[in-house]
A and B are shown apart, each in its own frame.
Chain A
Amino acid sequence: MKSRVLALVLVLVLTAGLLAGCGSQPASTSEPSSTAATGTSSAIPKFKIGLPWWTSTDPSIVSIENNIKTAVEAAGGELVEIDSDMTADSLIDNITELISRGVNGILLMPASDSMLPTVDEMCSSAGVYYATYFRDILDQGIKDQIFASKYYAGGCHEDDQQCAYDITKSMVDMGVKNLCVVNIAKGDTSSDLRDAGVKKAVDETGINLLNTTYSITTQTDMTKTIESYIAAYPEMDGILLAGTYCDAALPTIEKALSDHNMAGTVKVGRIDWDTTMGDYFASNSFNVAYGGQFQIDPMLSTMILINAVIGTPINTDGSPCWLQTNYLKLTSKEEADNFVKFFQGDLPIFTTDEIKSTMIKFYDPSINADTFKNIIANFSVADVVARHQGMIS
């Protein structure tokens, strides 16, 4: 009897709660009452930016998060992070939750083009701006639809195909004739573009592309893959790490090569930088890296979003601010060490004051898309070193 009464009470409470949820109006975001356009207010209204993010202790991932947080807080906003595994299903759930938490804007790295119309529908219904980072939109129909959306602020992306082409050519110039590749999951826009870039370079130069393995996320799997390459392809003389979500990927590859006395013999290159490159450059077991976009792309994407949220969009004609950031090239220990010190330290690549003076249109109405393009054009390891030399001991 007692348990039946208890069950009935619990069911009634849950039902009441569900009906309250069903009956509620869609979450109306408290859009900041912006007077920025007229410049009559002296302070940016409060706002919240939502960020689906995955937990990692990898310094590269941590530095991305730090740069985004600095950007948001420089404008006086709050960053609301929510754990995500960055799959399409997870991101949709994340967006639902962020909207219910009353964010004014959402920054996301889309898992695929096909999820973007769904994202647009959700954000447009809720009146929430959104921006993308790290990803181009390859499907022209989807791109046209998203670009026409009032709530798509824009975002940054890289020319992954050109990057993969350039790094493959670099490795060919170093003498590589038989190349194995490791890439992120198929279907991911960056993965597909990097595949295309590698293929283009391989076709032009006539080298052999022996194998490509996708979606390696653990060190164990990385070790097995490299050892499989070594066993299956004795002629292999180059490994390109075109992309991976595996922590400590480069040390894992170097260890596997070293165990088979092939470190230094097999040329190793990677797209996306990490903290371990310097030592391997010094020992000549690592040869070329393209990256540097980890920090600049999300930061600028965040600033594009923030400017839209606070009522001062970068483009005044209603079109999204769509920027391409460059891949930077590293080939020496000194450059790699500077990268670690100035890109992955506690100081972000742009300080709060630098952000306020060059990226927030509320404070300088002359800021436009060309301003951001100049920032991109001037951005390099040397640029960050020059600006922050005295700030880091």
Chain B
Amino acid sequence: MDSISEERKRGKFRTREFLANNFSFIGFALVVVLFEILTQGKLLGARNMMNIFNDFFTIGLGALGLIFVMSLGELDLSVGAIVGFSAAIGSFAADASLVLILPACLISGLLIGLMNGLLVSRLHVESFIETLAMSFVIRGITTFLLNGTRGIGIAMRVFDGDIIKVATFAVVAVACYILYEYTMFGKHIRSVGSIAEAARQSGVPVEKTKLLAFMLCGLLCGIVGFFCLVRACTASTKTGNAFEFSTLLAVVFGGMPLTGGWPVRFRSALVGSVSMAVITSGMSLMGLSGLTQQIVQGAILIGVVTLSFDRRNAVVIK
């Protein structure tokens, strides 16, 4: 018969395991309750809910793409630059025809994702370095192309409608969920993220999997670029600024392990994005300055990573 101390240890372990497995939901609930109190009930008001959704929409789409890349154990720091570049290309396509804006945004995002994927998977460039460098290159090209700002016809604002955005997000989220959880591609991604060599020996096409993940991330950034463009009807060199930080923070807050692999849960993207949108909205309603908001977001990132990083399973030497 187990001793009392061993039963207590098992109990503590189950509690810790529950907390670790449901960290994202617990964090989300805490954030909602905290800011609802601090904003004296304004956070969950009907008007503010759409503001939260508008914040959540672009970050959520970006996070959905990032899930695939980070599940591989890779990083994509070029997502913000891809958003800006896609919006810029879309603004040029608008000169030919408004119908071409969306395809132009999608194709440009896809092509940058393809480049990222090729460099990481074929040339084995470290994704952190490669995507960071790519972001500089793309930002430079965007600045050169735009030479300031470019506007498009205000008729495109119809795509900034709430119903269209809710429907778009629902379709993309469901499609990504099915792809991630129920297809071989999704399983391959997590296998590669866990132990790439073992996955390769098991017949998983590692390079192709990485390539497709980066392309998918790029495609979703293209969608974000399109919606950024139609929201302001303007593409500027600042479009997508700091987007990589927002999406990274979102997925990490959602419980995404930085090492990728099988522990990754698809819900990290959604719950984390909503949580970050709630935090941003709450801080804004409280009247916190931009500097203070940055400090809070940075502190959250450090805290979440510290609490959720699984040191036992971290691979020290590959």
On A, residues with C-beta under 8 Å from B are 2-3, 6-7, 10, 14, 17-18, 20-24, 27, 54-55, 81-85, 87-93, 96-97, 100-101, 111-115, 117-118, 121, 185-188, 191-192, 215
Contact = CB atoms under 8 A, between A and B. Distances in A.
Contacts of A24: 46-47, 50
Interface of B: 18, 21-22, 25, 28-29, 44, 46-55, 146-152, 154, 157, 162-163, 166, 228, 231-234, 236-239, 241, 267, 271, 274, 284, 287-291, 293
Given A21-B50, A21-B53, 6 more contacts: A18-B166, A88-B149, A114-B149, A114-B233, A187-B148, A188-B148
Nearest to B148: A187
Closest 10 CB pairs of A and B: A187-B148, A114-B151, A21-B49, A100-B47, A87-B238, A112-B149, A24-B46, A83-B290, A21-B50, A55-B290
Contact of A93 (B21, B54, B151): B54
A115 B239 CA distance: 13
A205 B314 CA distance: 67
Contact of B232 (A89, A100, A185, A188): A89
Nearest to A86: B238
Contacts of A3: 18, 21-22, 25
Contacts of B151: 112-115, 117
Given A87-B236, A112-B234, A192-B148, A100 B50 contact: yes
Contact of B234 (A6, A7, A96, A115): A115
Contacts of B238: 85, 87-90, 111
B239 A89 contact: yes
A111 B238 CA distance: 10
Contacts of A55: 289-291
Nearest to A89: B232
A88 B154 contact: no
A7 B234 CA distance: 38
B166 A187 contact: no
A110 B258 CA distance: 39
A185 B288 CA distance: 27
Given A89-B238, A93-B54, A83 B289 contact: yes
Would you call the interface of chain B mostly helix, strand, loop, or mixed? helix
Contacts of B291: 55
Contact of B44 (A17, A97, A188): A17
Contacts of B166: 18, 22
A332 B52 CA distance: 51
Contact of A96 (B25, B54, B148, B271): B54
B11 to A, nearest CB: 15
Contacts of B290: 54-55, 83-85
A117 B21 contact: no
A267 B289 CA distance: 37
A92 B231 contact: yes
A7 B162 contact: no
B82 to A, nearest CB: 15
A281 to B, nearest CB: 31
A54 B48 CA distance: 21
A97 B267 contact: no
B48 A100 contact: yes
Nearest to A25: B46
A185 B237 contact: yes
Nearest to B83: A89
A234 to B, nearest CB: 28
A187 B237 contact: yes
Contacts of A111: 149, 234, 236, 238
A84 B241 CA distance: 13
